[in-house]
């Protein structure tokens, strides 16, 4: 470039010298002027040629030129070539990425920060019914109108996946996962879990059916055992002991069957059946009385702090089950003369029920798994208390069905606090009377 610049300077200097000599020879300035005008005219033509070449789309075959202008064109053409190659490479990458995303069996959808569709793959057309010609730029919730899907996106809590039927085929179950990226954009992936769903449903049906079928034989067995216990004379102590053990084990089995049936009902029925404004004070008061009766000789102190007007929109039977399990557990796992506190309070987040005891407590390492069916941190407790191992699983399900959650805090040997958190939309009386 430097050499071409020097040549161009030489060319201009030569032209001026020539024009000056000519001007001196003819004794007039016009040869000098003609030289300058000529140079300006030529340069302007080059500029125009450059402009029309630049505004062309292809930028190949630059106009012929000499000197600095020629060098200019060659360099610009190289630059354009480089950019073209980079663009082609990029387009190739995008094309391959699109091809592989299209080959995926899973649905892939991209939406912008306003929830409008930006991109989807072929599986999305198959499973979601999206139409390439019409749906680009449409709000996703206009195309997938399932209320649970709309709520899921609206609430923005994507820790757990969502399962709903495909918008184009009710028999196909899709599991959605949402990943947020960029500024409010979302990558939504869905996969077909119909088979898993059916297997899960078969498992649930099996448990429900077995539990149901066990009910009748158990009732018959229990009836006979009761009659036998009434008729076997006191002198036959060994037989009586055996019969009473059989009776207590059949009671335990009955409790198991009842809890299993309750759990399958919680899993299989619509969460919103039998919604009522439940008077919590009366319910908890009754439960306190029951707990005192179960405590009996253990002489627990059971305190209750609930505002008289506490009301919750809930399914009363489910609520009773959940609260009952927590309070019974507190009695079961707190040694004699222990303290149990039942508190109810409301705040701007919702309503809360806590059951605190100063009993055996639980090693915090077990807490994350405590609501799993039959999970017990300490099996020796089972034989002592005769629980079913399903109580906390029931509480967790009831809480999920009420849009709430169960929080567990405990230390081994120092007691536990189980708190049920209900969302604000479940409150009948907004937070005024606060206690606890």
Determine the Cα–Cα distance for residues 108 and 20; give it in Å rounded to an integer.
76
Nearer to ligand ADP, 216 or 380 (CB): 380
Nearest approach, Cβ of 225 to ligand ADP (angstroms)? Answer: 22
From its phi and psi, is residue 435 left (phi > 0), alpha (psi between -120 and 50) or beta? beta
Closest residue to ligand ADP using C-beta atoms: 387
Relative to beta strand 162-166, strand 169-181 is antiparallel
Q: CB of 173 within 8 A of CB of 163?
A: yes
Distance CA 42, CA 51 (A): 14
Nearest CB to ligand ADP, comparing residues 204 and 366: 366
Nearer to ligand ADP, 338 or 404 (CB): 338
Task: Give the helix ranges, DSSP H, for 104-193.
Answer: 122-128, 140-143, 147-155
Q: Cβ 138 to ligand ADP, closest distance in Å?
A: 47
Least separation, in Å, of the C-beta of 415 and ligand ADP?
7
Query: Whole-number minimum distance, CB 259 to ligand ADP, in Å?
Result: 8
Kindly state the smallest distance separating residue 265's Cβ from ligand ADP, in Å.
17
Phi, psi of 400 (to 5 degrees): -60, -45
132 contacts 116 by C-beta, under 8 angstroms: no
Rg (alpha carbons) of the chain, rounded to whole number: 41
Tokens of 431: 């937070």
Nearest Cα residue to 326 out of 291, 278, 286, 376: 291
Which is nearer to ligand ADP, 62 or 361 (by Cβ)? 361
Distance (Å) of CA 404 to CA 150, 267, 322, 349, 365: 19, 16, 12, 11, 23
Closest CB 381 distance from ligand ADP, rounded Å: 5
Residue closer to ligand ADP by CB (options 333, 422) is 333
User: Alpha helix (H) ranges present in 183-236?
Assistant: 194-231
Nearest approach, Cβ of 254 to ligand ADP (angstroms)? 14
Q: Three-state DSSP class for 373?
A: coil
Applying CB under 6 A, the residues found at the interface with ligand ADP are: 325, 329-330, 333, 357, 359-362, 370, 376-378, 381-382, 387-393, 416
CB-nearer residue toward ligand ADP: 110 or 395: 395
Report in angstroms how near the CB of residue 295 gets to ligand ADP at its nearest.
13
Closest to ligand ADP by CB, 26 vs 382, is 382
Distance CA 173, CA 194 (A): 5
Closer CB to ligand ADP, residue 359 or residue 404? 359
């Amino acid at each position: 470039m430097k050499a071409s610049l020097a040549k161009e300077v030489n060319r201009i200097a030569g032209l001026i010298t020539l024009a000056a000599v000519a001007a001196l020879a003819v004794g007039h300035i016009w040869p000098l002027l003609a030289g300058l005008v000529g140079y300006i005219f030529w340069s302007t033509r080059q500029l125009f040629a450059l402009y029309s070449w630049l505004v062309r789309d292809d930028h190949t075959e630059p106009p012929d030129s000499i000197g600095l202008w020629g060098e200019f064109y060659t360099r610009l053409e190289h630059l354009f070539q480089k950019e073209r190659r980079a663009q082609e490479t990029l387009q190739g990458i995008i094309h391959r990425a699109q091809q592989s995303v299209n080959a995926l069996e899973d649905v892939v959808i991209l939406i912008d920060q306003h929830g409008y569709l930006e991109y989807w793959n072929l599986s999305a057309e198959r499973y979601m019914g999206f139409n390439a010609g019409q749906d680009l730029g449409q709000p996703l919730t206009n195309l997938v109108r399932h209320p649970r899907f709309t709520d899921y996106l609206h609430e923005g809590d994507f820790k757990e996946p969502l399962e709903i039927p495909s918008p184009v085929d009710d028999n196909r179950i899709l599991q959605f996962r949402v990943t947020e990226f960029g500024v409010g954009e979302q990558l939504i992936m869905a996969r077909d879990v119909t088979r898993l769903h059916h297997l899960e449903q078969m498992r649930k049906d099996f448990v429900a059916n077995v539990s149901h079928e066990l009910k009748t034989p158990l009732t018959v067995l229990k009836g006979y055992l009761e009659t036998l216990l009434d008729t076997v004379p006191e002198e036959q102590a060994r037989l009586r002991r055996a019969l009473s053990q059989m009776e207590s084990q059949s009671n335990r089995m009955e409790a198991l069957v009842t809890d299993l049936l309750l759990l399958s009902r919680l899993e299989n029925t619509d969460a919103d059946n039998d919604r009522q404004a439940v008077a919590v004070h009366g319910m908890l008061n009754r439960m306190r009385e029951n707990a005192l009766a179960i405590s009996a000789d253990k002489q627990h102190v059971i305190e209750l702090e609930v505002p008289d007007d506490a009301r919750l929109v809930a399914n009363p039977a489910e609520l009773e089950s959940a609260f009952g399990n927590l309070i019974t557990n507190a009695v079961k796992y707190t040694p004699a003369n222990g303290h149990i506190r039942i508190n109810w309070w409301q705040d701007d987040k919702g309503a809360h029920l806590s059951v605190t005891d100063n009993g055996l407590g639980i090693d915090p390492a077990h807490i994350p798994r405590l609501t799993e069916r039959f999970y017990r941190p300490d099996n020796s407790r089972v034989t002592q208390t005769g629980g079913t191992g399903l109580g906390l699983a029931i509480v967790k399900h009831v809480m999920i069905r009420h849009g709430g959650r169960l929080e567990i805090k405990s230390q081994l040997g120092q007691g536990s606090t189980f708190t049920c958190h209900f969302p604000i939309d479940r409150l009948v009386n907004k937070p005024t009377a606060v206690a606890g």
